[in-house]
Amino acid sequence: MTLNTNAQNKGILRPGHRLNLSAGSASVLVALALVGLKLWALQATGALSVAASLADSAMDLVISVTGLVVIIYAARPADDDHRFGHSSAEDIAALGQAVLLSGAAVFIGYGAIDRLFADVPPPLTNETRGMVVMGASVALSIALVLWQRRVVKRTDSKVVAADSLHYIADLIPNIGAIIALAVSSVFAFPQMDSVVALLAALILLNGAARIGRRSFDALMDRSASRATMEELAFIVGGWPGVHGFHDLKTRTAGATLFVQVHIELDGAQPLRDAHEISRSLKRRIREAYPQSDVIIHQDLARS
């Protein structure tokens, strides 16, 4: 049995998927703009801080394009081969991004330490032009992060969250490059950029660990957080007509929360009433967790 076209279209056009797609597309466009701006700034200034920021943006472009492809794939509805949908692709991509982020953090940190203790830091030129370009880069990054944060709040997409982390981390080296150019121009002290870059590397490592842990837990079918489990138990246990429940199970895949629970109902009531209890309870759970897939099993209440 295959899914019909209407069901497929409906799955693709879910609001959460549209928001994730908009965030992914914006990320690619911003990454392209940042790479172009920083290429020009590097040519004008010869600053290593700008070169490091350019390398970071180039990696962001690769990750953003990959993330957009994954978002499109994850938005596909369930089919004969993937009965629970394709949202786990987000977890795989986010885990890969976490590994890349960790590598980038180590690379940036090593470079920062090397430059910090260099005997003769390289001279910088055209600092004012460089500061203007980096300032524009900061403004673009902030605008993108604000939109991504809004999307993550509504969809809980791990890919968008990981991508947002890239640009948040980018803000520090970008601002550091501005400070380095300004300090170099006024005080001839370029080592400031190395200090800021080292701080950015530490923040990047911490964020990568957080994203990686969440993605790994999802791929291993770990239950939802304790707070989520407690709220679900409160909703199910207090629902009218439910005499008890057991086997409450959860797992996550991408932005989707999968919930299964057995509820105990009065066996003497009409089937129509039992079905209505289950239907209304399912609706209530989805109101609390819009990105959820809920399965409710009906059992006879224990005597």
Extents of the domains making up the chain: 5-219, 226-300
Give the pLDDT score at 77. 67
Q: Where are the alpha helices (DSSP H) in the chain?
A: 5-12, 15-45, 48-74, 88-116, 127-155, 158-186, 191-219, 226-237, 271-288
CATH architecture, domain 226-300: 2-Layer Sandwich (3.30)
Is the per-residue pLDDT at 91 higher than 80?
A: no
119 close to 162: Cβ distance less than 8 angstroms: no
The answer to whether the beta carbons of residues 56 and 104 sit under 8 Å apart is yes
CATH number assigned to the domain with residue range 5-219, chosen from the 4 options 1.10.569.10, 1.20.1050.10, 1.20.1510.10, 3.90.1010.10? 1.20.1510.10
What mean pLDDT, rounded, does the chain reach?
A: 77
pTM over 0.75: no
User: pLDDT value at position 4?
Assistant: 41
Q: Which pLDDT value is given to residue 254?
A: 64
Token code pair at residue 84: 């629970």
- The answer to whether the 5-219 and 226-300 domains have the same CATH topology is no
Mean pLDDT of 36-64: 74
15-40 confidence digits (pLDDT tens): 567 777 788 888 888 888 888 888 88
- pLDDT above 70 covers what percent of the chain? 74
Average pLDDT over residues 164-174: 73
For residue 43, what pLDDT band results from cuts at 50, 70 and 90?
Answer: confident
Report the range out of 43-47, 201-205, 239-243, 297-301 with the highest average pLDDT. Answer: 239-243
Query: Which of 8-12, 46-50, 270-274 has the largest mean confidence?
Result: 270-274
CA contacts within 13 A on the Cβ side of 301: 12
What's the mean pLDDT in 224-230?
89
